[in-house]
Amino acid sequence: MILHDCTTAPSPRRVRMFMAEKGIQIENRQVDLSAGEQFSAEYKKLNPLSEVPLLELDDGTCITQINAICRYLEELHPEHPLFGRTPIERALVESADHQLSSNGLMAVAEAFRNTTPGFKNRAMPGPHDYEQIPALTARGLLRLDNLMHDLNSHFANSQFVVGDYFSVADITGFITIDFARWVKKFIPEDHTDLQRWYDEVKSRPSAKA
Amino acid sequence: MILHDCTTAPSPRRVRMFMAEKGIQIENRQVDLSAGEQFSAEYKKLNPLSEVPLLELDDGTCITQINAICRYLEELHPEHPLFGRTPIERALVESADHQLSSNGLMAVAEAFRNTTPGFKNRAMPGPHDYEQIPALTARGLLRLDNLMHDLNSHFANSQFVVGDYFSVADITGFITIDFARWVKKFIPEDHTDLQRWYDEVKSRPSAKA
């Protein structure tokens, strides 16, 4: 099994942090996104979407998308589950993780890609080119303000994203906060509950992945 | 258990079609989105996100997000699985469903909400107001052209989204194509493979859900 990865990108870090939490080791192959290696004919044979991360199985099957990769790894290594321990908890984790992906990671990505010169005509990842829409940068920054405010309220009454259970949703949220620095958004000083949660997750060894 | 639903909206239809495929019946309560019932104090107590669908469990737990609801129902009714039958198939279904949600349903939603007068200042669902960005309508329509082209190529060699296995990804894809009519995008005449798949899914009794 090979994980096609790029250590400087936030998306594959979600998989690496997941693996670190579970003690999973997989052969790692770096794809140099800054050099455009994801668009090479060789890589496109593995992933026509030109995206990382990608999990290449021994039989040649290639799995794209972070949660698809992590869920597959959780099936191979069911101990210390990160997608939930009961049907209800699994549903709450899935729901929260989806929220944090679409309102957190996607908001940073929109803010970042729609005005950064290097992403001219590449405002969205994937095989198709799309022009930048600068208004999405402004909206992305506003969405991050709202998200941090909502998370701060949430963590006033909850240790982790879903109760006292550390899950993939905490990984997604934590990486969102780190990724937000790319667009110069930081946890506001008065968001002490969000900061408490962030520091707690950052203290886990997996946060270095 | 109560499914908070709105029969005219595409998102909850994904849950209804899933339930119909599996023969699941749940008490249904309609939320009148056109009258703004999702913003009522009573509904916000159940779902602060002001979104449908919502699955309210007998113990009061409320599950938001389509896939969280459907995964929970699949755990209660594991027979005739729609999220995959093996670890690899489950990974491929998850990946394809994510792609179709983010590049399909989201593209239609962006195209629709960013110029429709009724969504002024409500360009995104959820608790926060965001102004419309008309450029997202143009981009959404372009994304749908690309999606239909890509799907047509895919279905030239595949019965369903993931091989010969009907899954939640087919439900998401099918509802995307139907939802695209809201922005006047239809399967182009020369996309015969996409049309073949669409007709096949449409012939299933669940398509009427």
Check residue A23 and give left, alpha or beta (phi > 0: left; psi -120 to 50: alpha): left
Q: Which fold has domain A87-208?
A: Glutathione S-transferase Yfyf (Class Pi); Chain A, domain 2 (1.20.1050)
Low-confidence ranges of chain B (pLDDT < 50): none
Instruction: State pTM to two decimals.
Output: 0.96
For tokens 């998401």, the residue is B172
Put simply, whether B57 touches A (Cβ < 8 Å) is: yes
- Do B76 and A87 lie within an 8 Å CB cutoff? yes
CA atoms within 13 A on the CB side of B18: 29
pLDDT at A186: 98
User: Which pLDDT score, from 0 to 100, does residue A146 have?
Assistant: 98
Arithmetic mean of pLDDT over chain A: 96
* B72 interaction partners in chain A (CB closer than 8 Å): 87-88, 90-91
The region of weakest confidence among A1-5, A155-159, B116-120, B168-172 is B116-120
Determine the Cα–Cα distance for residues B54 and B41; give it in Å rounded to an integer. Answer: 15
Q: Are A143 and A103 in contact (CB under 8 A)?
A: yes
- Concatenate the DSSP letters of all residues of B133-173 into one string: -HHHHHHHHHHHHHHHHHHHHHHTS-SSSBTTB--HHHHHH
For chain B, how far is it from start to end, CA to CA, in angstroms? 19
What φ, ψ does residue A202 adopt, rounded to 5°?
Answer: -65, -25
pLDDT tens, residue by residue, A139-152: 999 999 999 999 99
pLDDT band of A133, cuts 50, 70, 90: very high
% of residues, chain B, pLDDT over 90: 98
Q: Could you give the ipTM of this predicted complex?
A: 0.95
Closest residue in chain A to residue B128, using alpha carbons only: A146
CATH number for domain A2-76, candidates 3.40.47.10, 3.40.30.10, 3.50.50.60, 3.40.50.1470:
3.40.30.10
pLDDT at A101: 96
Joined tokens for residue B195: 């049309």
Q: What is the pLDDT of residue A47?
A: 94
Are A91 and B69 inside 8 Å of each other by CB?
yes
pLDDT band at A115 (very low <50, low <70, confident <90, very high): very high
Per-residue model confidence (pLDDT) at position B152 = 98
Asked, colleague to colleague, whether B2-76 and B87-204 share their fold, the answer is: no
pLDDT digits (tens, 9 = 90+) for A22-72: 999 999 999 999 899 999 999 999 999 999 999 999 999 999 999 999 999
For A182-192, b/e burial (b = at least 16 CB within 10 A) is ebebebeeebe
Q: How far is CA B146 from CA A44, B170, B188, in A?
A: 17, 18, 12
Instruction: Could you please state the CATH topology (level 3) that the domain comprising B87-204 is classified under.
Output: Glutathione S-transferase Yfyf (Class Pi); Chain A, domain 2 (1.20.1050)
Strands B54-56 and B2-5: antiparallel
What residues does each domain of chain A span?
A: 2-76, 87-208
Rounded Cα distance, B63 and B70, in Å: 10
pLDDT of residue B20: 98
CA B76 – CA A164 distance, rounded (Å): 24
Residue A159 confidence class, pLDDT cut points 50, 70, 90: very high
Segments of chain B assigned E as strands: 2-5, 27-30, 54-56, 62-64
